[in-house]
């Protein structure tokens, strides 16, 4: 695997959370998922959680300053030698610029930015029927990838419930996809011009997509070594 941290990008429903967790389980990364951090704050009833929820429930992004501050605090807890996979961050160009500064401050660097490509029709299908493990936050698509035993998490055995997240109603899903196009598309370009972006098809089984990502990372590592 390449030295340095990774960013996993993709629209809502592209499976980036699932693949990030696979990288944690199989490749020893630590996942830094801003959506999970906001939800953890919310379940602990913190002020930050309550503030974030006012945006999340409408499908909007939490303001950059709030998000970056939370990421900075989380980063301070992660040892420098541990590789991080960023999931759902950065989502705006301002966040991408802030991340560049934060990584520099911590003596870290980015190895690659992986973008999961999934057609819009498929995204809508996946987002319509999701279920989440309340213990480890693994997300299942009931239409495309249900748990092997209904209601039981494949990963940790925790309870998987189909009660939709408050940000998964059809109107909110539509809004989240619109916000992604407007705010996050430019981040793709930002990393493309810096030669860091790699596109990967996000269609297929979890293992197929995972294998594509691993192959790509191995290839990147050999290219870097050859330079």
Catalytic residues: 16, 91, 130, 165, 176
Residue 88 binding ligand AMP, by CB under 6 A: yes
B/e letters for 146-157, b = 16+ CB within 10 Å, e = fewer, are: bbeeeeebebee
- Report the residue from 18, 31, 34, 141 that binds ligand AMP according to the rule CB under 6 A: 34
* Cβ 17 vs Cβ 87: under 8 Å: yes
Taking the complex as a whole, how short is the minimal distance between the CB of residue 60 and ligand AMP, in angstroms? 6
Roughly what angle, to the nearest 10 degrees, separates helices 120-128 and 170-179? 140
CB nearer ligand AMP, residue 34 or residue 138: 34
CB nearer ligand AMP, residue 70 or residue 112: 70
Residue 41 binding ligand AMP, by CB under 6 A: no
Residue 91 binding ligand AMP, by CB under 6 A: yes
Say how many C-beta atoms besides its own lie within 10 A of residue 195's C-beta. 8
CB nearer ligand AMP, residue 2 or residue 15: 15
- Report the residue from 20, 21, 61, 168 that binds ligand AMP according to the rule CB under 6 A: 61
Residue 62 binding ligand AMP, by CB under 6 A: yes
Taking the complex as a whole, how short is the minimal distance between the CB of residue 172 and ligand AMP, in angstroms? 8
Taking the complex as a whole, how short is the minimal distance between the CB of residue 175 and ligand AMP, in angstroms? 9
- Report the residue from 18, 67, 132, 141 that binds ligand AMP according to the rule CB under 6 A: 67
Task: Give how far the C-alpha of residue 68 lies from the chain's centroid of Cα atoms, to the nearest Å.
Answer: 15
End-to-end CA distance of the chain, in Å? 16
Tokens representing residue 145 in the block: 């990838």
Task: Put the strands of the sheet holding 160-161 in their side by side order.
Answer: 139-141, 130-133, 160-161
Q: Which residues from 105-164 bind ligand AMP, rule CB under 6 A?
A: none
* Cα–Cα dist 75/213, whole Å: 24
Taking the complex as a whole, how short is the minimal distance between the CB of residue 64 and ligand AMP, in angstroms? 7
Binding mask 176-195 for ligand AMP (x = CB under 6 A): x-------------------
CA dihedral 186, 188, 194, 195 (to 10 degrees): -150
């Amino acid at each position: 695997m390449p030295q340095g941290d990774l960013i996993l990008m993709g629209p809502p429903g592209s499976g980036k959370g699932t693949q990030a967790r696979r990288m944690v389980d199989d490749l020893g990364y630590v996942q830094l998922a801003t959506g999970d951090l906001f939800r953890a704050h919310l379940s602990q009833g913190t002020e930050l959680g309550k503030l974030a929820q006012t945006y999340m429930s409408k499908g909007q992004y939490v303001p950059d300053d709030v998000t970056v501050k939370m990421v900075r605090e989380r980063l301070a807890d992660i040892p420098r030698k541990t590789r991080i996979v960023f999931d759902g961050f950065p989502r705006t160009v301002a966040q991408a610029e802030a991340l560049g500064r934060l990584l520099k401050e911590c003596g870290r660097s980015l190895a690659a930015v992986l973008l999961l490509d999934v057609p819009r029709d498929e995204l809508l299908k996946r987002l319509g029927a999701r279920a989440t493990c309340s213990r480890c936050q693994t997300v299942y698509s009931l239409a495309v990838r249900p748990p092997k035993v209904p209601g039981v998490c494949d990963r940790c055995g925790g309870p998987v419930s189909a009660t939709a997240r408050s940000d998964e109603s059809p109107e909110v899903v539509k809004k989240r996809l619109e916000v992604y196009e407007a705010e996050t598309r430019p981040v793709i370009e930002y990393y493309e011009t810096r030669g860091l972006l790699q596109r990967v098809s996000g269609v297929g089984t979890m293992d197929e997509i995972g294998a594509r990502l691993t192959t790509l990372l191995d290839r990147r590592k050999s290219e870097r070594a050859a330079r």
